């Protein structure tokens, strides 16, 4: 019999990108008592709300996905809140889980917890061999404290808490807001908007900003808001703010500016595969050592841009803003332990996952945004 059937499972952050996919995976695997702990019902930074969540939902297992998270720009602007909110959520959820005698706590960490110059592929034994990349450090270290806490509570109290380290996630339903998105959704959206600009479809551009809830932006100390009534001049100004513009040499072609040099490498993990890995670990892994979960490959940002350009049939120009940070030089996980401990191997090829993500987003006017 499946170890999770009949268990009351609470997923924090269950309304989010990964959370929605995880809940579907749990339900499809036979779990019937799956609950969500998320805003606005529960503010997990608040101890009172954490206590109330445990009393209300009475879980056997908690899978903690909730996080305050974003890309490089968001990290640079919000280091204090990233550290505080993620640390407080983790510390309080683990402790109250122990206090309520739950059977298992599954903590989701982050690849940002690894040292900046970790040898590639990243192995779990390397996690303490240096300081994280600076723009990611507050978030990465806050998440890393759950590993310390999990191991301490297992040692002192026998509390069953495990710690998983996922790599960069992507897939349908991701966060595409320019304010806080990661690299793949940000790039897909940039090239989508650039294609719309090349066609002169300003109504679709305005609709895109309204759907992503980032239609308001401060430019030159003035607040601008993109609506269906906005002038072409205002829309062009906002697009330029985000690195999207008309080509000077050809008005029907667009230019997309990308941060950094393109030399950094990243590993990307399709969200449905990530959900399967978390379920497999929840069923079968009960040790204190952290475990990487990922796809086990790396691609440079430059090659990623080239692939997205081809898949999206972008016929414009790409430029690089080398004054912006690349972030950590390389990221790729060694996923041997996940395969050995709970028989997990990612199934979705990167190209396949990228095509699904692009189709989900670019066909949104007729689909998910309706």
Q: Is residue 240 part of a domain?
A: no
* DSSP codes joined into one string, 278-314: HHHHHHH---SS-EEES-S--EEHHHHHHHHHHHTT-
Q: Is residue 117 part of a domain?
A: yes
Tally the domains of the chain: 1
Question: What CATH number should be reported for the domain holding residue 285?
Answer: 3.40.50.720
Q: Is a pLDDT exceeding 50 seen at residue 357?
A: yes
Q: Is a pLDDT exceeding 70 seen at residue 369?
A: no
Q: Is residue 307 part of a domain?
A: no
**What is residue 221's predicted lDDT score, i.e. its pLDDT?**
83
Would you call 139 a catalytic residue per the annotation? yes
Catalytic hit among 54, 98, 114, 139: 139
Q: What does DSSP assign to residue 122?
A: B
Angle at the Cα of 230 from the Cα atoms of 228 and 221, rounded to 5 degrees: 130
Q: Is residue 105 part of a domain?
A: yes
pLDDT category of residue 254 using cuts at 50, 70 and 90: very high
Q: Is residue 181 part of a domain?
A: no
Q: Is residue 101 part of a domain?
A: yes
**What is residue 1's predicted lDDT score, i.e. its pLDDT?**
40
Q: Is a pLDDT exceeding 70 seen at residue 9?
A: yes
Asked whether 12 and 54 are in contact (CB, 8 A), the reply is no
Q: Is residue 53 part of a domain?
A: yes
pLDDT category of residue 74 using cuts at 50, 70 and 90: confident
* 189-217: pLDDT as tens digits: 999 999 999 999 999 999 999 999 888 88
- Is the peptide bond prior to 106 cis by the omega test (within 30 degrees of 0)? no
Query: Of 70-74, 245-249, 331-335, where does the model show the most confidence?
Result: 331-335
For 98, the domain range is: 9-173+267-296+330-347
**What is residue 105's predicted lDDT score, i.e. its pLDDT?**
98
Residue 35 and residue 43: Cα distance in Å, rounded? 15
What's the whole-number mean pLDDT along residues 289-312? 97
Q: Is residue 116 part of a domain?
A: yes
Q: Is a pLDDT exceeding 50 seen at residue 281?
A: yes
Residue 369 and residue 363: Cα distance in Å, rounded? 9
**What is residue 216's predicted lDDT score, i.e. its pLDDT?**
85
């Amino acid at each position: 019999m499946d170890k999770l059937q009949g268990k009351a499972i609470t997923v924090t952050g269950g309304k989010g990108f990964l959370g929605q996919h995880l809940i579907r995976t749990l339900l499809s695997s036979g779990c019937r008592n799956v609950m969500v702990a998320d805003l606005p019902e529960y503010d997990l930074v608040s101890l009172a709300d954490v206590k109330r969540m445990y009393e209300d939902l009475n879980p056997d297992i908690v899978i903690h996905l909730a996080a305050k998270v974003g890309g490089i720009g968001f990290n640079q602007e919000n280091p204090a809140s990233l550290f505080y909110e993620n640390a407080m959520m983790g510390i309080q959820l683990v402790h109250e889980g122990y206090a309520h005698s739950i059977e298992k706590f599954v903590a989701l960490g982050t690849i940002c917890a690894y040292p900046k110059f970790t040898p590639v592929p990243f192995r779990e034994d390397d996690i303490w061999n240096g300081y994280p990349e600076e723009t990611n450090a507050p978030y990465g270290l806050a998440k890393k404290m759950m590993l310390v806490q999990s191991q301490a509570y297992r040692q002192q109290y026998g509390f069953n808490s495990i710690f998983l380290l996922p790599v960069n996630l992507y897939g349908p339903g991701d966060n595409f807001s320019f304010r806080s998105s990661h690299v793949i959704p940000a790039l897909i959206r940039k090239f989508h908007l650039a294609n719309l600009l090349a066609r002169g479809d300003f109504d679709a551009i305005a609709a895109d900003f309204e759907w992503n809830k980032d239609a308001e932006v401060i430019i030159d100390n003035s607040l601008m808001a993109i609506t269906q009534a906005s002038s072409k001049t205002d829309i062009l100004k906002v697009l330029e703010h985000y690195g999207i513009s008309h080509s000077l040499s050809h008005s029907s072609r667009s230019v997309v500016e990308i941060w950094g040099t393109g030399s950094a490498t990243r590993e990307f993990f399709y969200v449905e595969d990530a959900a399967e890995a978390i379920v497999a670990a929840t069923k079968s892994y009960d040790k204190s050592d952290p475990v990487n979960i990922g796809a086990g490959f790396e691609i440079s940002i430059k090659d990623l841009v080239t692939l997205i350009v081809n898949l999206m049939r972008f016929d414009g120009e790409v430029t690089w803003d080398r004054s912006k940070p690349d972030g950590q030089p390389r990221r790729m996980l060694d996923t041997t332990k996940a395969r050995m401990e709970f028989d997990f191997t990612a199934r979705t090829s990167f190209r396949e996952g990228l095509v699904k993500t692009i189709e989900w987003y670019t066909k949104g006017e007729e689909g998910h945004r309706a």
